[in-house]
Amino acid sequence: MLNRSQKTVRNSHKPEKSAGPHSGSGHLRSVRPKLVKQVNQRNIFDMIQSAGTISRAELARRTGASMPTASKTVARLLHLGLIEEQGLVPADGKGRPSQMYRVASEKSRVIGISIEPHRCRVVSAGLDGAFAAQDIVEIPTPPTYVDLIDKCARCAVRGMSSRGHKALGIGVSVSGTVDAMHQQVLLSPNLHLLDGQRPGADIESRLGVPTRIVHETISTCLAERIYGEARGVRNFVMIGTYAGFGLSAVVNGDLFTGANGMAGELGHIIVSEAGELCGCGNRGCLETISTDPVFVRRVSRRLGRELSIDQIIGMTGSGELDPTPELHETLNGLAIGAAAAVNIFNPELMALCTRMFEVSPGAFEYLAQRIGDNALKPVMQRCRIIRVQGDTLCGGVAAAIHHMVESLGPRMNWAVEHAA
């Protein structure tokens, strides 16, 4: 077959009648250079992103690309507005000074949007994920979906026009179950006006800028991965319990998504069949024993009145309340899920975000200890546990950057020498 194919390349002025549109050497010849070009631009951009600032020679050396390939790819990324010149750095000894490059933050930006039950936040950020706190626009979450899209789009326009930047993409962090492939919110238990809606597509059709929605746990995981604690970490798990039990993972450098982007629903494994009714319809899910709302419910039940987590944190701080029994009970539940994730994913790093850490200064250490007790020892010994804020606005920004980088081309673990 190979010989026949090679022969066809040489005699390609005579097309074979039997060759369909997706067979034969002509197709191969047109696809391969395009793929090589995409892989190169992805490799080079990834390298600039992780290095911070870097020269063309260093890019060529680290990615294994030839100098002409590195130069062409850098020129293309400059043209696309994805990277910028940082300035000249004097060469060591003889030779010309070299131009340094970094991901764009001056000419091109992304817009991050966080849609939350009580507020929406919008900000314009560089492709390095950096933004200024004073640029954040915050509004109360509007009561209707139409109003929500209208207000978010207007805020995004303000963010885009404030400094005359070109917006390359918009990322929207939402709570609830998201069908990533169809870009649809299937169910948002804390903000039902999003149920069944496609806020990304609706914002995109208003503004003409590519827009992606991402589940808040995935978005905050991306934020840690692109410019946070997990930068450069190839196996990373993040668990957040602000609303439900959210888990997202980076496995061997790639976001673990599953077929429809719904992977990681560890919160809905049943840990006690006689347990409390869960939002999913089953009883005794991990989510019913391990989250911030569960902790709040437990304390409220004991005191006989409805409290918020802020009230509990305040009352504990002033010495009015000792929620240790409920705190430990809930953290024990969380430790079951976190230890399961350690065993399943064998991560180098696990990041936890829960407001329960604000209740007591020892809460994080208690949880880390319990996870260590529950997880398999050899796996646990290689895993570092940290606490992070898990801000969903940073998540929206990260979602925009992630989508833009993904669309550059596939990530490959081998260097491509061909000049594209």
Residues in contact with Zn ion by the rule CB under 5 A: 268, 278, 280, 282, 285
Amino acid of residue 341:
A
Six-digit token string for 106: 């001056």
> Count of residues for the chain?
420
Nearest distance from C-beta of residue 204 to Zn ion, angstroms: 32
Angle subtended at Cα 345 by Cα 241 and Cα 334, rounded to the nearest 5 degrees: 25
Fill in the amino acid letter for 65: A
Choice between 40 and 248, CB closer to Zn ion: 248
- For residues 148 and 357, give the distance between their C-alpha atoms in angstroms, rounded to a whole number: 32
CA 211 to chain centre: 14
Q: Which is nearer to Zn ion, 151 or 268 (CB)?
A: 268
> Computed over its alpha carbons, how large is the radius of gyration of the chain?
25
Q: Is 146 helix (H, G, I), strand (E, B) or coil?
A: helix
Minimum CB–partner distance for residue 330 and Zn ion (Å): 16
Q: Whole-number minimum distance, CB 242 to Zn ion, in Å?
A: 17
> Which one, 54 or 285, has the nearer CB to Zn ion?
285
Q: Which two tokens stand for residue 324?
A: 């240790």
How crowded is residue 56: how many other Cβ atoms within 10 Å of its Cβ? Answer: 19
The DSSP-derived string for 28-52 is HHHHHHHHHHHHHHHHHHHHHHHHS
Select 249 or 278, whichever has its Cβ closest to Zn ion. 278
Q: Which is nearer to Zn ion, 106 or 276 (CB)?
A: 276
What CA–CA distance (Å, rounded) separates 383 from 380?
5
Q: Which residue number, 282 or 346, has a Cβ lying nearer to Zn ion?
A: 282
Give whichever of 108 and 330 is closer to Zn ion, judged by the CB atom.
330
Q: How far is the CB of 267 from Zn ion (least distance, A)?
A: 7
Min dist CB 291 to Zn ion, Å, is 11
CA distance 252 to 186: 28
Name residue 138's beta-bridge partners: 121
- Name the minimum Å distance from CB 256 to Zn ion: 20
Q: What whole-number distance in Å separates Cα of residue 179 and Cα of residue 176?
A: 10
